[in-house]
Every structure is written in C-alpha cells, then in structure tokens.
Amino acid sequence: MGYSVREQVWWVVAIIILLGLKDGSKACLEEEREALLKLKEAFNHPNGSSLPSWNNLNSSGCCSWEGISCDNSTQRVISLLLNYTRAQEFEDINWSLNASYFLPFRQLQTLDLSGNFLSGLLGEIRLDNLQTLYLEDNKLTEVPFLGVSHSDNSKTLEGSLQQSNASLTSLASLRTLSFYKNSLEGSLPQQGGLCKLKNLKVLSLGRNKFEGHLPSCLNNLTSLRVLDLQYNGFEGPFPSSLFHSLKSLRFISLEETYFTGIASLSLFANHSNLQLFSISCSNNPNLKLETENPPFIPSFQLLIFNVIQCTMNEGRNNRSSIPSFLLHQYDLRVLQLGYLNISGSFPNWLLKNNTKLVSFKVGHNFLTGPFELNSTLRFMDMQYFDASSNPINDEIPPHVGSIFPNLLSLNMSSSSLQGGFPASLGDMKQLNSLDLSNNNLSGYLPQEFGKGINDLRILKLSNNNLIGPCLPVGSNFTHLLIVDLSSNNFTGKVREGMINSLELRMLDLSTNQLYGEIPSWIGNFKHLGYLILSQNSMAGPIPKSFCNLAELTYLDLSQNKINGTLPNCLNMPSLRYLHLRSNHFMGSIPSVLAKSSLLLTLDLTKNKFSSQIPRWFESMLNLRVLLLKDNKLEGSIPMEMCKLKNISILDLSQNKLSGGIPHCLNNITFTKKDHMDGTLLGKFFVPWTTRGPVFYFNYTSGDLVHDEYERNSTLYEQQEVNFMSKNRYESYEGKILDFMSGLDLSNNQLTGEIPLEIGYLNNIHTLNMSDNYLTGPIPETFSGLMQIESLDLSYNNLTGHIPFQLTQLYSLSVFSVAHNNLSGKTPDMKNQFSTFDPSCYEGNPFLCGPPLQQKCSSIDNPSGRNIQPHHSEEVGFQDAFLWTFSGAFVVFFLGVITCLYFNSYFYSYK
C-alpha cells in the first residue's frame, strides 16, 4: 500500500540526514533523545531488537537515527516514522502505547505508527503541531481521545465528548488522519470528536467496524479532500448533504457500506476537483446508485471511476446502461463497472475517448458486440483489460496486440468469443495473465503466440474448440504458474513449451485428445499443487520423476490408459485428492499411499487392482470418499476399515470380495460431510496478482499517482481451486456428491447374514448390498435408517419376511429386494411404499400382497409369517430395476478463481 510515497518521504528524510551529516549538526535535544530511547524500549517489549540505530553510542545524533527527522534550526524532532517497526513475532501480544510517550516532541508534525499490532493508544495525544497521524493497519478498537469509543453508548457519549473536547484542541493542526484497517467499533459521536479537526484534509476510516449514522457535523470539514469510508457498517440514509457540502473532495471511497436510499451522482456535478469515485454494494441491495436522473454535466474529470455490484439506475427492466456522464470524461485511468447488468453494445467510444486508460474492467454485464477497435488506436498505458462474462459474441480484433502493446492482463473469459486466436496476442510482450476460457474459439494456437510472450504466468484457455498441439510448436514459456487448457480438442503428445516453467503450480490438460506417455519432465515442477490430466488417451506408466512432486494436493489422471503401478518412491504428504479412475493400473493397492495421510478422496474405480484391501488403510483417518469399485480385489473386508470414521462414501462394489460383512461398519457414521469443504478444493498462492493497478493519493500534491513500484514488487495472490458450476458437478445417482453418504458392497461374493448393526447407520443415504450371497433375514433394525433414500438388497439369498417397520423410512425413494427368497406379506402400501411397483419384489416366489398380484391367504397376519402366496401371472416387468451405481462418479471441474473480483483493492492513500 502506497509504499512509494513513503519511499519519497524516506528520500526526503535521507537527504535531510545527509545535509545534517555535512553540517555535522545532527545533535538533538537531550530531553527528546531520552524520550526516544524510552519509546524504543516500549516497541521492543518484551525482548525485541527493532530500531538498532537508536543507541547511546552515537548519543549526540538522534536526528540521524532511523525514522527520525529534526527541524534543522531548532534540532527538535519533527517527524517520527515508526511504521512497521514492531517485530512480527509479537503480533499476538496485546500491545498498547501510552500517548504520553510523545509529549516531549513538541514540534512533531508527522507521526506514523502504522503496522505495529497496536491494540490501544492510551491517554491524550497533545501535540499542537501534529499535521499527519497514521495509525493504519493496527488492531485498535477505540480511540477515546477522538471520541471514537465503543464502550456502552449512552454513558460514554458524554464521557468521550469531554475527553475529546479536552484533547482535540491540542490536535488542531491535524490535516491527515488515517485509521485505515483497524478494528474500530461503534458509531462516531454526533458532535465534537473528529468534527473538531477543522483543518482536516484527509480522513480515512476505511476497513474498520464502524456503524451507525455519520455525524452531520462532518459537513463542516469543508477542507476535506479525501474521505475514505470503505468496508464499514455505516448505515442510515446516504449522506447526500455531507457530499453536497464537501465541495473540495477529490477522493471518495464508499465500498461496502450499509447506507440506504439513492446515491445520485448529480450531487457531485460541481465538485470540480473530484478525481476518484469508488463504490461497491455486494452486500447492500438497499443502496441505489443513480447516474441519469437528474441529468448533469460534470465539472470534474475523473481519473478513477469504480462501481461494482450496485443497483444502478433502477426501474429500467433491471438493465442499466453505461452512465452517460462518461461521455464527458476523457482522462480516465481506471474504469471499473462490474456486476451491474449493463446492457447495450460494447462501449468502444469509451476507450477511444480515454486513451490514457491503465485499467478497463467491464466484466459481468450484458454487453454485446460489435467488439471493434480501430486498428490505428494505441493504448500505451493499458495494463488490465477485462470484459469477461458478457455476451459479446464477436471475434477478438486481429490487431489487439498492437492496440494494447503493454497489457499485463487480458480477461475475456465467458464472452461467447468466436473465431481464431489472434496471432497478434504474441505482440503483448508484457502479458502476464491471459484468460480466454469458456468461449467458442477455434483453430490452432498460432506460433507467434508461443514466440512472443515469455513472461506469461497465467494461461487459461479451457472450454473452447482449440485444436492442434496444446502449446504451439517452438514455444518456450519460462514463467508459467497456472495453465488450464482443459476441455478443448488439443491432440498429440504434451508439448514441451512449458518445460522451463519450473515454478508451475497448476496444470490442467483434462478432456482433450492428448496421447503418448505422461512426460517425465512434469516431475521437475517441484511446486506443482494441482495436476489434472483426466479424460485423454495417455498411456504408459506414471513416470518415476513424479517422486519429486512433494507439494501435490490434487492429482487426477482418471480416464486414460495409464498402466503399471505407482512408483515406490512417491512421496506426496500434502495430497488430498487422488483420482486414478478408469485406467489400467494393476497390482495391489500401492502402500506408498499410506504416506498421504491427508487424503480426503481416493478414487481407484475401474482399474485392475488385485489382492486384498490393505490394512494400512486404517491410517487414512481423513478419508471422506473411498471408491474401489470395479477392480479385482479379493479376500474379506478388513475390520480395520471400521476405523475410517470420517468416510461418507464407501464403494467396494464389483470386486471379488468374500467373507462376511464386518459388524463394526456402523463405527463409520456415513454422515454426509462437506468432504469438499463446501466447494473449495484448496487455496494456493501464486507470485503474481491480477489485481491492480495500484494508485495512491499523494496528499501533498493532491494527486493520484500510479504506483509502478507496487507492480514491480512481487505480490502474492491467493488463488482458489473450486468444484465449480453445478452442471459440471458429477452426480451420484442424480445427487450432488457433496450431499451424499453411502455404502456400496454390491457385486461381490459376500456371504453370511447382514449384520444388524448396519441398521444403526442412521445418517446413510444409500445402501447397496445387491448381487452377493447374503443369507438370513433383513434386520428389523433397518427401520432405523432414517435418512435412507435408496436401499438395494436384490440378488442375494435373503430369507424371512420384509420387516413391516420399513414403511417408516420416509425418505426412501428407491427400494429393491428382488431375486431373493423372501416370503410373507409385502410392507403395507403406505408412505413411500405406496410408490414402489412390483419389480421391487420380483423373483421372490413366496412374497405376496400389493403391489404384487399374488394375494396373501391371511391378510391380517401382521408378522407376515406363514402366509402362502396365491399364484398369479408373472407381471411383465423385466429388469425394470436397473438401479446401480452407474455412470461416471467423480469428474470434478476445476476452475481457478482469483480473489473476489469486487474485493480488489487497487488504490491506497498516501
């Protein structure tokens, strides 16, 4: 945040110090020197070592100590920059400063205490000359000397007022006051308090927990240039009269407040200095932004206009249009209009009128084509361009690369783009992030693209119709962090174009037509967290080099032709999701997996794994989903499985398992759990950000400054990997996997009786034991399966009657006991059982009663025993019962989303 102005100040300080050295006049007052040493002690409490240059050795020169500058005539300290001084290791120690520490510095003009984990500032600050006070990025919950106090409203209004009246006169010179990013609570006092600071030019209350109405006395702070209220709980009617009074405002930041009513931009028509207006309303539907009514001609030229997710110009069929005052703006640097239901054609004119744009973001609207940019235009400053999620339905202009030669980030995902991938994209030599996913782009990736851009970090082209090699022949990308080329028609072997991107974090090539072996160089990507190669035709074994992939969280190789077994040296302690479904793996289930004790889901379905279910599974205590279906596993189900208490889905079907069903299976609760953590698969950080640009407000010059420093420093951005859109969610019998719990033992060779403990699984949703050699009765305890939706016991040798209590299973929608030796009366045709047809019971010659045609001889016998069926015609239902665990089970759609679009923080204040 705003480092570079700080840097400037720092230079000034440095120059002053240098001048001081030259004069040999860096001595300072003894009184202030002692006060500084005390202050140092406080900052280092209990055992820190900050401020090493503050020591007695150069006792004469405290003006040359770090962070300090003195007046060169009086030798008094005028500036104390103690920002980010307290050691990080003390972050969790509750730390307050007594304001009396600062009393000796009578000429102090600038005090910066930002970033010190400060939870309290006690007593009064009495500093007549103080002009600038930064308390940003601390943990303050109240500042009593400014009337900012949260304790017990009614009583303290008086109390804090007295206090503030006393103290505020002693901060009468204050011009800049920032509490940005603290935890200040409560409402501002309606009189006194901040309103006493008549000379205030910069007031930042942003990112706190203030609530209540803004005091109307703020109207009197007519010198205010910067008013930052963002991310607070301020409520009440939108403070129109405040903004009407504060005509000098340049910078207005209103993101995520709770004001209600109409905010009309016409209020600002005469604010000729207005440069930045920023508002977002993602949690506040009660604030309506009005840009058209009454119409106005602005006297300002905005540099930054930012509106995200607000109800704008309500009452036009929920579709708004680009605010028309923008016709008069020609100096914009940042324009962001996101999630606003804006319709109409893409505003080519806005671009033409504002050739100095640095960032242009109009994502998540209803803008349509034509998307034509005059090929003679040049936007030399444009760095961020985002028109994603609009029905643009046009081609990317072929000259886009020369129109935006310096672009850092291009996002036109989900915009119905057609046509080819323009070769001129290769002219964007600086491009760091390219997202053209979810479009209808076709054709090859041009070679120019591979040759031109070598700074690309994020490449997302998923869900298009691209063909040919998945990276252009001859490309050599060296900085890739995230590559998502899934769901295209790429063919051939995986190209080496990314082989030199050793920092790669995520690679998704799924759902293409790639063949050949998995390249062993993938093992060089030491930081790879997500590798998804599913739904291709890759063959051969998993390369040994995968043993280097110690940071993998998610590995999906499903639906390929990969064979062999897993390399013995695999070591993936972070692995949470392993999906190897539908391949040709063989041998016993590899014991190297025991090292991945964090595994949440393991899908080995449809391979040729043989031998027994290993006992080491008992150490996989985090497992939520275990799918071993359709392999060649044999032997009995080990008791150790019962220790996997967190399992919600266990599928052992279509193997050759024998022996009895363990009684202890009820130790597994089969509770449906958010085994996908909601939808979040994981979070990871990449050393690049799609946010930005960063602007800061230089309060001395009164200008907004574009901060290049920020861009050049390495910012880490959190990326989230999600199970995304529901339509791509794989379902489990039509249910979203996340809501399911189930046990499938079908199609094995299990013998013995069904343990009555199975009936204690009162959270289970589906239970399938069909196609085994189970004998004995259906346990009456099954009436306790209160959540059960699907129960299949067909194709066994079960005998006895069907417990009539099963009619209490109100959730049951699929039921079959077909092809057993059950006898007696079917359950009453009530509740769910009234919906089941005869096929549910077929193949049990001794069953009788509705819906079967066979009538029971003694209808009143509730136990159903000793009832002989009347023979009747076999009903013509053949194989009507087809319910199995069919269909693909887990095909997760992976998407990477950046931090919430509307949370992006792209300017700061200094």
Ligand X SMILES: *[C@@H]1O[C@H](CO)[C@@H](O)[C@H](O)[C@H]1NC(C)=O
Q: How far is the CB of 9 from ligand X (least distance, A)?
A: 4
Q: Would you say 711 and 694 are in contact if contact means Cβ atoms under 8 Å apart?
A: yes
Q: How far is the CB of 133 from ligand X (least distance, A)?
A: 12
Q: Report strand pairing: 773-776 vs 695-698.
A: unpaired
For ligand X, which residue of 99, 473, 664, 724 counts as binding (CB under 6 A)? 664
For ligand X, which residue of 316, 318, 349, 835 counts as binding (CB under 6 A)? 349
Q: How far is the CB of 703 from ligand X (least distance, A)?
A: 17
For ligand X, which residue of 84, 366, 444, 846 counts as binding (CB under 6 A)? 84
Q: Would you say 572 and 549 are in contact if contact means Cβ atoms under 8 Å apart?
A: yes
Residue 49, class by beta-carbon neighbours within 10 Å (0-12 exposed, 13-18 middle, 19+ buried)?
exposed
Q: How far is the CB of 518 from ligand X (least distance, A)?
A: 11
Q: How far is the CB of 869 from ligand X (least distance, A)?
A: 41
Task: Decide if residue 328 touches ligand X (CB under 6 A).
Answer: yes
Q: How far is the CB of 847 from ligand X (least distance, A)?
A: 35
What would the two tokens of residue 16 be? 């002053």
Task: Decide if residue 500 touches ligand X (CB under 6 A).
Answer: yes
DSSP annotation string for 346-359: --HHHHHH-TT-SE
Whether the upstream peptide bond of residue 294 has omega within 30° of 0, thus cis, is yes
Alpha-carbon span 8 to 696, nearest angstrom = 13
Distance between the two ends of the chain, CA-based, in angstroms? 8
Task: Decide if residue 524 touches ligand X (CB under 6 A).
Answer: no
Q: Would you say 175 and 200 are in contact if contact means Cβ atoms under 8 Å apart?
A: yes
Q: How far is the CB of 687 from ligand X (least distance, A)?
A: 18
Task: Decide if residue 220 touches ligand X (CB under 6 A).
Answer: yes
Task: Decide if residue 370 touches ligand X (CB under 6 A).
Answer: no
Alpha-carbon span 668 to 649, nearest angstrom = 10
What is the 8-class DSSP label of residue 776? Answer: E
Measured from each CB, the residue nearest to ligand X is 6
For 713-870, where are the alpha helices, taking DSSP H only?
A: none
For ligand X, give the closer residue by CB, 170 or 667. Answer: 667
For 321-443, where are the alpha helices, taking DSSP H only?
A: 348-353, 400-403
Task: Decide if residue 687 touches ligand X (CB under 6 A).
Answer: no
For ligand X, give the closer residue by CB, 16 or 412. Answer: 16
Q: Would you say 514 and 491 are in contact if contact means Cβ atoms under 8 Å apart?
A: yes
Choose the stretch contacting ligand X; rule: CB under 6 A; options: 76-84, 404-412, 608-616, 865-873: 76-84
CA angle 333, 334, 337 (to 5 degrees): 145
Task: Decide if residue 473 touches ligand X (CB under 6 A).
Answer: no
* φ and ψ at residue 423, rounded to 5 degrees: -60, -25
Q: How far is the CB of 73 from ligand X (least distance, A)?
A: 4
Going through 140-204 in order, the beta strands assigned E by DSSP cover 176-178, 185-186, 202-204
**What x/- string results for residues 621 through 640 when contact with ligand X is judged by CB under 6 A?**
------------------x-
Q: How far is the CB of 778 from ligand X (least distance, A)?
A: 23
Task: Decide if residue 353 touches ligand X (CB under 6 A).
Answer: yes
Residue indicated by tokens 């790429």: 490
Choose the stretch contacting ligand X; rule: CB under 6 A; options: 2-10, 175-183, 203-211, 762-770: 2-10
Task: Decide if residue 875 touches ligand X (CB under 6 A).
Answer: no
For ligand X, which residue of 50, 191, 491, 775 counts as binding (CB under 6 A)? 191
Residue 591, class by beta-carbon neighbours within 10 Å (0-12 exposed, 13-18 middle, 19+ buried)?
exposed
Alpha-carbon span 655 to 750, nearest angstrom = 10
Task: Decide if residue 87 touches ligand X (CB under 6 A).
Answer: no
Closest-CA residue to 462 (of 400, 507, 525, 516): 507
Task: Decide if residue 327 touches ligand X (CB under 6 A).
Answer: yes
Beta bridge partners of 577: 554, 601
What 3-state DSSP class applies to 171?
A: helix
Beta bridge partners of 156: none
Residue indicated by tokens 């019998």: 733
Q: How far is the CB of 327 from ligand X (least distance, A)?
A: 5
Alpha-carbon span 505 to 437, nearest angstrom = 18
For ligand X, which residue of 293, 478, 568, 834 counts as binding (CB under 6 A)? 478
Q: Would you say 143 and 184 are in contact if contact means Cβ atoms under 8 Å apart?
A: yes
Q: How far is the CB of 610 from ligand X (least distance, A)?
A: 13
Task: Decide if residue 701 touches ligand X (CB under 6 A).
Answer: no
Q: How far is the CB of 347 from ligand X (least distance, A)?
A: 9
* Interactions with ligand X, residue window 528-587 (CB under 6 A): 539-540, 563-564
For ligand X, give the closer residue by CB, 219 or 861. Answer: 219
What 3-state DSSP class applies to 443?
A: strand
For 143-217, where are the alpha helices, taking DSSP H only?
A: 153-168
Residue indicated by tokens 């300017």: 907
Task: Let me know how long the chain is.
Answer: 910
Q: How far is the CB of 667 from ligand X (least distance, A)?
A: 4
What would the two tokens of residue 320 be? 């708004």
For ligand X, which residue of 374, 520, 835, 868 counts as binding (CB under 6 A)? 374
Size of the site for ligand X (CB under 6 A): 35
Task: Decide if residue 6 touches ligand X (CB under 6 A).
Answer: yes
For ligand X, give the closer residue by CB, 10 or 444. Answer: 10
Task: Decide if residue 714 touches ligand X (CB under 6 A).
Answer: no
For ligand X, which residue of 430, 476, 611, 799 counts as binding (CB under 6 A)? 476
C-alpha separations of 716 from 114, 225, 687 in Å: 21, 32, 4
For ligand X, give the closer residue by CB, 496 or 828. Answer: 496
For ligand X, give the closer residue by CB, 318 or 374. Answer: 374
Task: Decide if residue 330 touches ligand X (CB under 6 A).
Answer: yes
Alpha-carbon span 474 to 448, nearest angstrom = 10
Choose the stretch contacting ligand X; rule: CB under 6 A; options: 5-13, 54-62, 734-742, 830-838: 5-13
DSSP annotation string for 41-61: HHHHTTT----TT-SSTTTT-
Task: Decide if residue 111 touches ligand X (CB under 6 A).
Answer: no
Task: Decide if residue 217 touches ligand X (CB under 6 A).
Answer: yes
Task: Decide if residue 112 touches ligand X (CB under 6 A).
Answer: yes
What would the two tokens of residue 491 be? 């063919």
* Interactions with ligand X, residue window 45-74 (CB under 6 A): 72-73
**What x/- string results for residues 402 through 441 when contact with ligand X is judged by CB under 6 A?**
----------------------------------------
Closest-CA residue to 566 (of 599, 536, 604): 604
For ligand X, give the closer residue by CB, 75 or 411. Answer: 75
Where along the sequence are the contacts to ligand X (CB under 6 A)?
A: 3, 6-7, 9-10, 16, 72-73, 81, 83-84, 112, 191, 195, 217, 220, 327-328, 330, 349, 353, 374, 376, 476, 478, 500, 539-540, 563-564, 639, 642-643, 664, 667
